[in-house]
Chain A
C-alpha cells in the first residue's frame, strides 16, 4: 500500500518539499495511514536494525529517530544529562504521536541500552534489546548473530500470528537489496554532481525510507533520481566536505541546509543505519546467516561499533578520499558520548593527515543557525583562500 500522498504527477521540487514536511511531522502521517489500513508497526531505535525480518512478517519497520518536539512526559522518566533523541523518541510514543506493536533497541550506547527497560515499564507491548555483536572480530560472531536474528524472528511471529519463512525473508531481502542499490546511486550522485542534489534534499530522500514501506521508497527513488540527474544547476566554487556525526541523533534539516549554502556535502554518515550494509545480501542459502554476515563483513562504520578491521579515523580518511572531499565537519549531538569521544580521535587523525576540519555540536531541536553559518563560512574562506 502507498502511505505517502500521490507524488508521481508533481514537479520534483514540490515532491521534495512535501517529503520534508512529512519527515518533520511528529505525527508521522505515513505511520498513521499504515495503521489505519490495519498494518502493524515495529519501532526500532537507531542505528542499524535488520528491517528485512519485520518486513517479511508484513510489519512496517519504523526507524525511531527522535523528533523536534518537547519531551514533557519523557523528561520525568530520565536523568538530566542525556542526549535529546533518547528523550524525544520516548516522548513520541508516550504522547501517542506514534503507536507501535513492538519496540526494539540496541546496546549502541549507554543511554540507548536503557531504552528497552524504560520502554518496557511504560508499555505493555513487547519491548526488547537486540544484542548486535560487539565483538565483530570473533569467529563465532556471525553464528551468534544468526541465532539472535532467529530469536527476533520468533518474537515477531508471535505478534503477527504467523510463521515467517525463509522464502518470506528472501522476498524482503530482494526489496531491500534494491533499496540499498538506489541509495548507493543517490550517494554516487552526491559525490559526482553535488550541485544537483543539495545535502538537505538528499537527506530527505534517504531518511523518508525509515518511515514508509520500502517498496514505496524504491518507487520514489526510481522516479526522483533521474529527475535530479536531469537538473541543469551549474556547479559553484564550493568546498567539498564530508559531514560526520549524524549516525544516531539527526541534525535539523535547516542545519544541513545552512551547511549546504557554503559547501557541498559529498558524503556523510546521516542515517547510516539505512545504508549500513554496503552490498546486496545474497538471497540463496540461509537468509538469516546471510544477513548476519553482511552486517559484520560488508558494512559501514560508526562510533558505536568496535571492529579492529575498521579503525574509525582510518575509515573517515577513506570516506574523505573516496568522495574527493577537501575538508570535514566533525559534529556530535550534545551529550552523545560516543560521538564526542570520536571527535578527539577524528581531530587528531585529520591533523596528522593535514585535512582541514570544523568541529561542532548540534541538537535536534536547535532552531538558530546564524552563528554556525558564520563560523562555517569563515572556515570555508580560510580553506579556500589559504
Chain B
C-alpha cells in the first residue's frame, strides 16, 4: 500500500534539503578561505575538537568528508590514481590517497577549492589519522596535534567519572586540551575566550541531544529515515557544524521533522518489509545503487554503527556541563571518542541489544578494504552476535572509495540471496 505523503506542510524532507544547503555553504567557506589565505584547521570526524577550534573561528576542513565526496561524485579513481603514481600503495586507505591528490592539485576538488592546513588535529581513534596528518606535516610543515584519547581496555572495562583509571585518562586528555588551546592561540594570534567556549558547547549539547533523539526515533515502524543514505547527510552536518548555531538549529528542526513523521506514520520508503542494521562504512562509489539493492526488497537500514562512530560518538547524547566547560569538555571528549572506538571494536553486544527495540530482521556487515580500523574484527564480531542472538546476517566486502574492488553484480547476488533467506524465514515463522 502506498503511503500518502503530506508534502505541503514543508516539514517532510527538509532535513535533506537544508543539509545539502549547509554543505554547500560549508564548502563555499572553504573555497573562500583558499582564496583569501585564511588559516584553516584540518580535523577528523572522531575527536575533531571543533568545540575548541570554533572558539578561534578557524574554517574547518574534514578531509574524510572531502575524500568521500570524490567517490560519491564518481571521480575518486582520478584522485586515487594520482596518489598511487606519487608512490602510495594500492593497499593504503582510499581516503588518504584522495586527499593526497587534492593536496597535489593545490586544493582542486569537485565541491570547490580546498585550502591548505595551518593546523591539523589527529586523534588516535584511527591510527591512519595520525599517519595521514604526518603527510600534511611533511607537505606544509604545519603544526600537527595528536590528541591521544585512551579507549576501552577490555570488553567489559569501561570506566566512568570517579573511577581512578577514568580520572587518570581524563586528566591526560584535559592536559592535552590545554596544550591545544595554547597552540591555537599561537596559530590564530587570538586569545582563548572561555565564554565563547560555553556558547559553542551549548550548541554542541543541542546537537548531541538531538542526534540521540533522532536515532531513537527510528525505532518507529515504519522507520522515518535511512541510516545509510539520509543518515549520512545528517552526519555531515553533525560533524561540519558541530558547536555552531546553524548546526543546533538544523538538528532541532530535524527532530521536529522526525517526530512529525513518526506521528503521521511516514516511512522513509513506501513499503517497509525488512528492518536492518548496517555495520561498517558505506559503499560510496555506488552509494545510491548500493542502497537500492536493499530497498528494492523493502529493506531499510534503521540504525548503523556508522551513525555512532562517524559522529565521533555523539550518538551517546553526552552533554557538557557549562559551569565547568574545560573539565567537562575533557570528560566529554574522552567518553565520546571512546564510544566511537567501541562502536568499531565492541559492537556484538550493542547490536544484540538493538534487535528488539529496533525490530531488526537482519544485520548487514560491510567491511571495506580501505578501513582496517572498522573492518578487521567484523567477521569475529558477527560470529559473536550470531552466538548471542538468533538473527540473520549478511557479510559483504567492497570499499568506500575504490571502485576497482566494488563488484556490483557480486554484491547483488549476495544481497538477493540474503533477502530470499529472510523471506523464507518469515514464511516459516508464519506457518
Spell out A's residues near B (CB within 8 Å): 76-82, 86, 107-111, 113-114, 116-118, 120-122, 126-131, 133-135, 137-141, 143-144, 147-148, 151, 303-304, 306, 308, 332, 334-335, 337-338, 340-345, 347-348
Question: Which residues of B in the span 366-402 have a Cβ within 8 Å of any Cβ on A?
Answer: 367, 369, 371-373, 375-381, 383-384, 397
> Contact: B150 with A78, CB < 8 Å?
no
Distance in angstroms between the alpha carbons of A151 and B380 in the assembled complex: 27
Is B99 an interface residue when CB atoms closer than 8 A count as contact? no
Q: Mark B122-155, 1 if CB is under 8 A from A, else 0.
A: 0010111011011100100000111110111111
CB A288 to nearest CB in B, in angstroms, measures: 13
A-B contact count (CB 8 A): 169
Kindly identify which residue among A76, A110, A121, A148 contacts B348, using a CB–CB cutoff of 8 Å: A121
- Choose one: A140, A144, A306, A344; the contact of B88 (CB below 8 Å): A344
List the interface of chain B (C-beta within 8 A of A). 86-89, 91-93, 96, 124, 126-128, 130-131, 133-135, 138, 144-148, 150-155, 157, 165, 168-169, 171-172, 175-176, 179, 344-346, 348, 367, 369, 371-373, 375-381, 383-384, 397
Measured CB to CB, the nearest residue on chain A to B382 is: A77
Residue of B nearest to A341 (CB): B131
- Output the least CB separation between B43 and chain A (Å): 15
**In the complex the two chains form, is B372's CB within 8 Å of A340's CB?**
no
Chain A neighbourhood of B377, CB < 8 A: 77-78, 114, 117-118
Tell me whether A131 and B150 are in contact (CB under 8 A).
yes
Specify which chain A residues have a CB less than 8 angstroms from the CB of B367 in the assembled complex.
Answer: 79-80
Contact yes or no, A108 B127, CB < 8 A: yes
Residues from chain B with Cβ under 8 Å of A126 in the complex? 154
Instruction: Identify which of A79, A82, A131 gathers the most chain B CB atoms within 10 Å of its CB.
Output: A79
B91 lies within 8 A of A345 (CB)? no
A134: contacting residue among B146, B153, B171, B381, CB under 8 A: B146
Q: How far is the CB of A202 from chain B (nearest CB, A)?
A: 29
Residues of chain B contacted by A109 (CB below 8 angstroms)? 127, 372
Let me know if A138 and B179 touch, CB within 8 A. yes
Query: Could you say which residues of chain A place their CB within 8 Å of the CB of B151?
Result: 107, 129, 131
Q: Which of A82, A306, A335, A338 has the most CB of B within 10 A?
A: A306
Query: Of the candidates A138, A304, A332, which one forms a contact with B172 in the assembled complex, judged by CB atoms under 8 Å apart?
Result: A138
**B91 touching A129 by the CB < 8 A rule?**
no
B165 and A77 contact, CB distance less than 8 A? no
7 A–B contacts, CB within 8 A, in A order: A79-B372, A81-B369, A81-B375, A114-B377, A306-B130, A332-B89, A341-B134
Pick the contact of A116: B92, B96, B154, B179 (CB < 8 A). B154
Within the complex, the shortest CB–CB distance from A365 to chain B, in Å, comes to 17
Q: Assess whether B127 is in contact with A121, with CB atoms less than 8 Å apart.
A: no
Among candidates A110, A151, A304, residue contacting B126 with C-beta atoms closer than 8 Å? A110
Whether the pair B155, A134 counts as a contact (CB closer than 8 A) is no
Q: Which residues of B contact A116 (CB under 8 A)?
A: 153-154, 345
Let me know if B375 and A341 touch, CB within 8 A. Answer: no
B194 to chain A, nearest CB (A): 21
CB closest chain-B residue, reference A305: B130
Q: How far is the CB of B153 from chain A (nearest CB, A)?
A: 5
Which residue from A117, A127, A304, A343 sits with its C-beta under 8 Å from B89? A343
Given A110-B128, A121-B380, A135-B145, 12 new contacts (CB under 8 A)? A77-B380, A78-B379, A80-B369, A117-B346, A131-B150, A135-B147, A135-B148, A138-B176, A148-B150, A151-B153, A306-B146, A337-B128
Closest to B344 in A: A114
Residue of A76, A122, A137, A335 touching B146 (CB-CB under 8 A): A137
Once the chains are docked, how many angstroms separate the CA of A216 from the CA of B407?
A: 54
| B376 partner, pick from A79, A122, A134, beta carbons under 8 A | A79
A130 cross-chain contacts in B, Cβ below 8 A: 153
10 cross-chain pairs, A with B, having the tightest CB-CB distances, nearest first: A140-B175, A135-B148, A144-B172, A114-B376, A110-B373, A77-B380, A110-B372, A114-B377, A147-B168, A134-B124
Residue pair A79, B381 in contact (C-beta under 8 Å): no
How many Å from the CB of A246 to the closest CB on chain B? 17
**B26 shortest CB reach to chain A, Å:** 27
Query: How far apart sit A117 and B135, CA to CA, in the bound complex (Å)?
Result: 29
Measured between alpha carbons, how far is A223 from B171 in the docked complex, in Å? 47
